[in-house]
Amino acid sequence: MKVVLQRVLKSSVTIDGEIVASIGNGIMVLLGIVNDDTKEDINWLTKKIVNMRIFNDDNGVMNDSILDVDGEVVVVSQFTLHASTKKGNRPSYIRAAKPDIAIPLYESFISQLEIDLGKKVQTGIFGADMKLALVNDGPVTIIVDSKNKE
């Protein structure tokens, strides 16, 4: 399971011209799932996200977590995070989990993140053609992969 975390001042997800998710200060999470991802990956990753100190404290140093700043979170499924670009110029997405595996893990990830965060998480719609808008704050963009814990 891989995520791209983007610290944002605001972010939204639009599908067919309709805004389906919108947050202010917080994190946009792009989530990629592979076939061998498990509940263990979800638990490790959601705890990592809510405790990661990527927000500035009163001294302008990144010492605060999303919990410390009472920020919001939006999660968007992103199978292209697992693209293989080794051969040719057309990425291969063979590592990305198919919907029958990915959707239950995506939903479980969101549920666990809401528990760890202590509030509702905004989301896109799995598999939809989404348009994302965000103001990246910093910019701060962090990639975390549950398969690289050590």
126 is catalytic: no
- Tokens read off for 100: 């029958």
- Tell me the C-alpha to C-alpha distance, in Å, between residue 70 and each of 47, 53, 54, 58, 138: 15, 13, 13, 15, 18
122 is catalytic: no
Q: Detail the DSSP E strand segments found in the chain.
A: 2-15, 18-23, 26-32, 55-56, 62-64, 72-77, 122-123, 131-145
- Residue at 30: amino acid letter: L
Given 6, 78, 122, 123, which residue is catalytic?
A: 78
38 is catalytic: no
Given 55, 79, 109, 126, which residue is catalytic?
A: 79
Catalytic residue numbers read 78-80
